[in-house]
Structure 1
Amino acid sequence: MATADTDDPYAALRDHVERITYLRDATGLLNWDQQVTMPEGGSPARAKQLSTLSGTTHDLLTEDRVGELLDACEAADLTDEQRAVCREIRREHERATSVPSDLVSRHAEASSEAQQVWQDAKADADFEAFAPTLDRLRELRVERAEHIDPRADTYPTLYEDNMPTLPLETVERVFDTLREELPPLVAALRESGTELARPFEGQTFPEAEQAALNEAVADFLGYDWDRGRLDASPHPFTSGTQFDARITTRYKPEDPLDALTATIHEFGHATYQLGLPRDEYGVPLGSARFEVHESQSRFWENHVGRTRAFWEAFLPTFQEHLSGVEDLTVETAYEAANRIYPENRIRVEADELTYHMHILLRHDVEREYLDGDLSVDEVPARWNELMDEYLGVTPDDDAEGCLQDIHWTTRFGGFPSYTVGSVLAAQLTAAMREDLDVEGCISDREFDRLREWMTDNVHRHGQRYEADELVAVATGERLTADYFLEYAREKFGDLYDL
């Protein structure tokens, strides 16, 4: 080890980890470009580029020097924040060192190539065209899991790739509660006889109008255009850092709320990225918690963008940018934004409540497939079976079924984060209400006060706390489904006259 490392092992460790972060963020920009602006013919070269970057990043993370620096830091006099950085790096280093570099590169290349295969297969509603690629990705991830922990089942190991500091047992407890409580609530809403407004039926809205509307809603909420941009992509997503957080949406001619809620959702993700400490960029203190990220998007989408207060404030802007909505009222817009439609087959188009049945479906299919209880050829039938069980509908084709999500091209075990996000968003909103008049802030367009609360209680901590502890720090208690269920019963009970 160099003398400088010996004199200040933490400084040397930080310098090394910053280089890793910069490479990862460059990878993120290439992924953004691939989904937003890259011509279709660029895929072969992009796959090689991403494979090389992933392999280089993996090599840097797994160097023996990282372990030596971490050991030296353990004996050093560090602050609590510095020890948190070391904790996060050690977890990642130890996990990464168990995985061969060539496997990382092979998966990165296969993942990049898979995105175009998935897009083509989805366009043709042809799962058989994607099945060999999906099985190859599964083989690579199973191989990875076996290197990490050969004694464990595959799914829990890959789950920890996504949410390492929120125990799977906690998530399963939340899911068990939702499995018990949500179906009776949805059934009661269905049987209430109440029909909510559908004001956009029979209309179409040009993409140009919708694009202007979605720029306007980002403006309305306070998106920092100096550190972000809004584009269109096949699947809405957010990419970036505290200096550059880009969002995308997609447009459906017959449903302006689809893009609008997607934009608000991704805006929420961007607020988290942009709220991270700038002077900690490059190390875990300046990085978001994946386990918590979805709570930020769900807060803005559901607890802001689907409220009466929001529509009272935003309706004039909505009407300014779209033609044919001059007679739309606040109450009609509010009902349209919150109507449940269990007959829907598409997760990203699902209503706020039945959305979670889509997540439970994916959780079950993924676990069975990864643990070897389901072959790739059986995936479509199992998907359709569970969709019928959870939602009472079946897909018309594979594009409406098991091909609808891009996620399996990049990772497995990440779907639980979406329901965790909604559950945590309700818990955070309840805590926020102890300090702020949330509805009043929305009505008065004081969105900066909502962002500041989230920054003070969530964003500024980066990864100082593990996710389970961060939830407790922000809300005063560990993750629970109670606040989400209370919120759902009150909101939808009011809408459907229960």
Structure 2
Amino acid sequence: MADTSDAYQTFEQHVERMIQVSHASRILDWDQQVTMPEGGTAARSRQLATLSGIEHELLCDDELGTLLDELDGAELDPVRAANVREIRRRHDREVRVPSDLVERTRRARSDAFETWSEAKAADDFATFAPALENLIELRREYAACVAPDRDPYRVLFEEFEPYVEFDRAVEILDTLRKEIPPLIDAIRRSDVSPDDGAFKGSFDPTKQESFVRDVLSDLGYDWDRGRLDTSPHPFQRGSPYDARLTTRFDRTNPLDGLTSAVHEFGHALYVQNLPREHYGSPVGEPRDMVVHESQSRFWENHVGRSRAFWERTLSIVREHFPQLDDLTVERAYRSANVVTPDTPIRVAADELSYHLHIVVRFEIERALVRDELDVSEVPAIWNEKMESYLGCSPESAAEGPLQDVHWSNATFGYFPTYSLGSAAAAQFRSAFEAAVGPVDEVVRDDGFEPVSEWLRENVHRHGKRFRTDDLLIEATGEPLTADPLVNYLREKYGRLYAISG
């Protein structure tokens, strides 16, 4: 077999240039959502469109295609083979998409974010509707370029999770849609009263930020390679050398800002722990959104809502909020886990009913992309589905279809990964407990580092080396399944609300 070392070296250099352009784009996107002055949108739209065009051209370059042809089937070590596999998948997909469409979409996304921000502040869905219609049309056009004979929503879902079959994703969502409502109904009938008043009051956002910073430090966030800011919708961006996160603060409830920050910390820790020796290659990048969301949901729910977390964190609470001096661990724990299905805001939803929020968004965006629903119908159908699944209807568009930033970013197909990631998180928890011990006991006795170390060893350090199911099998012994999540939710909330059977 011919020596492919020179071809691989050229391939590696080409791919690194492409990834660096992508990282630069991410930081400009972060800046737009966090610090950019309001008047900067026109220039930023063009800057991001240009970078997207350059990245697309590098990915679709004929020379790269030739290199991939030469490397296909070559005897490569597992890391190099994974890099070739990942770029081959993306190249074969994107080469069918014209650069003009990529740049138009990136420009439209940047403009739509500002429109969404204004529409949400004004509680006016009609202001955002034209931008949403344009983004849907652009994404349909993209899907038609990639695979004109396939369901466009499936094509878009593969942007965020290429290695979990869409039918299996739907099956997992269907399982959650079937299993969760009866559990919620049992909780509503329970004689156990929810304790949701422990964190009520008035809490200075500046003090909340200081509190969250101390919690993130205790969790193990590396401030030399990260930062915390506020944004209308919490998110995380960056690289192993610069993994930034944001949250937002509700003056009446410090749990909201804390929970969002711990969620984004899970993303950021994953990024900070990626193998830096492979930085600039696919293996140095995170394994798509099911695994990415599994890390945020693991820290948010399995750690941040655990009793041991509140045993460690209560002293930090009292330090920053003297009005909570009489707060007990038990009250804090129960408040962090109260089930309130009539909450219209997804990021404030409890761990259980959260998945019904995802189902609402999944069903609506799938219908939009498939042209089965008109944008003008979204507020009404949103309210109808919220009432059907959660027993509540938002009082405004800002609390309804305008609450999430995702559609302004044209990320249709992303929402299912939150629940799929939650399923993976439950699998990782089961594997961790089999190998190390119960999460509560480990955190209580040894802090958060054993959790971080297990995730670093079994998930983070692999980057994109394995496909999604292969990574899960490597770490947990089985491919993605809803069973551990369903069992975990039944056990936890059955215990909290004294539900038998």
- Flag whether TM exceeds 0.5 (same fold): yes
Residue 121 of structure 2 aligns with which residue? 123
Structure 1 CA distance, aligned partners of 2:165 and 2:259? Answer: 30
User: How far did 1:7 drift?
Assistant: 5.8
Q: Is the 8 A contact 2:198 2:332 kept in 1?
A: no
- Structure 1 residues 312 and 75: alpha-carbon distance in aligned structure 2, compared to 1, 3 A threshold: closer
Gaps of 5+ in 2: none
Structure 2 CA distance, aligned partners of 1:38 and 1:275? Answer: 28
User: How far did 1:204 drift?
Assistant: 0.6
Letter in 2 for 1:247: L
User: How far did 1:41 drift?
Assistant: 0.9
User: How far did 1:444 drift?
Assistant: 2.9
Letter in 2 for 1:60: L
Structure 2 CA distance, aligned partners of 1:355 and 1:312? Answer: 25
Structure 2 CA distance, aligned partners of 1:131 and 1:332? Answer: 43
Letter in 2 for 1:318: V
User: How far did 1:6 drift?
Assistant: 7.0
Match of 2:151 among 136, 150, 153: 153
Structure 2 CA distance, aligned partners of 1:203 and 1:272? Answer: 34
User: How far did 1:201 drift?
Assistant: 6.3
Whether 1:434 aligns to 2:434 is: yes
- CA offsets, 1:332-381, max 9 Å, x none? 00010000101100111111100000000111001111001101111111
- Structure 1 residues 73 and 332: alpha-carbon distance in aligned structure 2, compared to 1, 3 A threshold: same
User: How far did 1:434 drift?
Assistant: 1.1
Q: Is the 8 A contact 2:199 2:255 kept in 1?
A: no
Structure 2 CA distance, aligned partners of 1:239 and 1:194? Answer: 41
User: How far did 1:124 drift?
Assistant: 1.0
Whether 1:337 aligns to 2:343 is: no
Structure 2 CA distance, aligned partners of 1:6 and 1:91? Answer: 20
Q: Is the 8 A contact 1:239 1:245 kept in 2?
A: yes
Structure 2 CA distance, aligned partners of 1:74 and 1:48? Answer: 36
Structure 1 CA distance, aligned partners of 2:408 and 2:343? Answer: 24
Residue 413 of structure 1 aligns with which residue? 413
User: How far did 1:445 drift?
Assistant: 4.5
Structure 1 CA distance, aligned partners of 2:432 and 2:4? Answer: 45
Structure 1 CA distance, aligned partners of 2:283 and 2:36? Answer: 32
After superposition, residues 89-108 of structure 1 pair within 5 angstroms as 89-108=87-106
TM-score, length-normalised on structure 1?
0.97
Structure 2 CA distance, aligned partners of 1:434 and 1:198? Answer: 33
Identity across the alignment (%): 50
- CA offsets, 1:194-224, max 9 Å, x none? 2121234651100111011000100111111
Superposition RMSD on alpha carbons, in Å? 1.2
Q: Is the 8 A contact 1:200 1:255 kept in 2?
A: no
Residue 459 of structure 2 aligns with which residue? 458
Question: Helix, strand or coil: the match of 2:322?
Answer: coil
Structure 2 CA distance, aligned partners of 1:483 and 1:385? Answer: 30
Q: Is the 8 A contact 2:20 2:280 kept in 1?
A: yes
- Structure 1 residues 414 and 202: alpha-carbon distance in aligned structure 2, compared to 1, 3 A threshold: closer
Q: Is the 8 A contact 1:50 1:108 kept in 2?
A: yes
- Structure 1 residues 22 and 28: alpha-carbon distance in aligned structure 2, compared to 1, 3 A threshold: same
Residue 163 of structure 1 aligns with which residue? 161
Question: Helix, strand or coil: the match of 1:372?
Answer: coil
Residue 324 of structure 1 aligns with which residue? 323
Residue 239 of structure 2 aligns with which residue? 241
Letter in 2 for 1:422: S
Q: Is the 8 A contact 1:205 1:323 kept in 2?
A: no
Residue 266 of structure 1 aligns with which residue? 264
Letter in 2 for 1:148: V
Structure 2 CA distance, aligned partners of 1:41 and 1:35? Answer: 13
Structure 1 CA distance, aligned partners of 2:365 and 2:320? Answer: 41
Question: Helix, strand or coil: the match of 1:324?
Answer: helix
Structure 1 CA distance, aligned partners of 2:182 and 2:172? Answer: 16
Question: Helix, strand or coil: the match of 2:246?
Answer: strand
Residue 284 of structure 2 aligns with which residue? 286
Structure 1 CA distance, aligned partners of 2:300 and 2:392? Answer: 26
Gaps of 5+ in 1: none
- Structure 1 residues 261 and 202: alpha-carbon distance in aligned structure 2, compared to 1, 3 A threshold: closer
Letter in 2 for 1:441: V
Structure 2 CA distance, aligned partners of 1:188 and 1:279? Answer: 50
Q: Which moved more, 1:444-453 or 1:240-249?
A: 444-453
Structure 1 CA distance, aligned partners of 2:482 and 2:350? Answer: 18
User: How far did 1:78 drift?
Assistant: 1.2
User: How far did 1:480 drift?
Assistant: 1.2
